[in-house]
Structures are given as structure tokens and as C-alpha cells.
Amino acid sequence: MAISYWRRRDRYYRLLGNRCTQCNSEYYPPAYLCRRCGSESLVDVEMPTTGQILTYTILREVMSGFEGQQPIVIGIVQLDNGVKVLGQIVDTPLDALKIGCRVRLVFRKIRDESNVGQIYYGYKFTALC
């Protein structure tokens, strides 16, 4: 698993998506074919690092390995370019969260495989409200 993770690390670290060169539609995660015009001509583009919360949920029971992050807030964030992404919202008191809050992208630890010493990092969001 670690090899495929590291091969795609730009997509996790920089929120790298793609844009259609024909109609300028942007996608994250990257698409292989433009869903708007059908073009195969897509180029990598870095997504904006700010947006707003469209909706969110609070997970009070979490999967094995994520107990230290509980409760986990998962939200759908609309980035400033209109692309919607799913991400964890961190470093924000639960009572301060509101739909419509501005967020910014942050780089955080996702999890680790303590038996092999592998640590996985990726994007999360922090609310600015």
C-alpha cells in the first residue's frame, strides 16, 4: 500500500486535480475524461486552498485506528473554483462549525501503520468561522 500512496503523493499533498483544455471544467479527484464535453485533453491543475462548508457530519464512533481523532468531522467543501471535495474538518470547536463557514486547506497526519513505521499525511480543512 505504501508504494501506491507515494506514487500519488502530489494528489494528497497539493490537492492536485485536473482541468479540461476544451471547456475549462475542473475536477478533483482527477478525471480521465471531461464529464462536461467528453474531451480527453485534461491537464493537471492545483485546486484552490480555500472554500466553504456545504454540509458536514460528526462521527462519534470511528473505524479502528482512528480512535485518537474522535469525534471526526467530515464535510463537503466547495472550493473557490466550484469543485466540491470531501474532507475532514479539524482544529475547530464543534460548536463553532456552521454551514457556510469559510475553510482553508491544511496538511495533517492521516494515520500511521505503527507496525512498519509508515506515517500517511494528506489534506484536511480547518474552519475560519
Cα angle 71-74-48, degrees, rounded to a multiple of 5: 135
Residue 49 confidence (pLDDT): 95
Residues near 11 by Cβ (< 8 Å), separated by ≥ 6?
29, 30
Q: Which long-range contacts (CB under 8 A, 24 or more apart) does 105-113 make?
A: 105/15, 105/49, 105/50, 107/13, 111/65, 111/66, 113/2
Residues near 27 by Cβ (< 8 Å), separated by ≥ 6?
17, 18, 19, 20, 34, 35, 42, 83
pLDDT tens, position by position, 37-86: 999 999 999 999 999 999 999 999 877 777 777 899 999 999 999 999 99
Q: How is the chain split into domains, by residue range?
A: 1-47, 48-129
Distance (Å, whole) CA 18 – CA 78 = 16
Residue 70 confidence (pLDDT): 83
CB 115 within 8 A of CB 108: no
Residue 38 confidence (pLDDT): 96
User: Which comes out higher in pLDDT, residue 92 or 62?
Assistant: 92
How is domain 48-129 classified at the CATH fold level?
Answer: OB fold (Dihydrolipoamide Acetyltransferase, E2P) (2.40.50)
Sorting pLDDT into bands at 50, 70 and 90, what band is 120? confident
pLDDT tens, position by position, 1-43: 455 655 666 655 678 899 999 999 999 999 999 999 999 999 9
Rounded to 5 degrees, φ, ψ at 38 are 85, 0
Is the pLDDT at 118 greater than 80? The verdict is: no
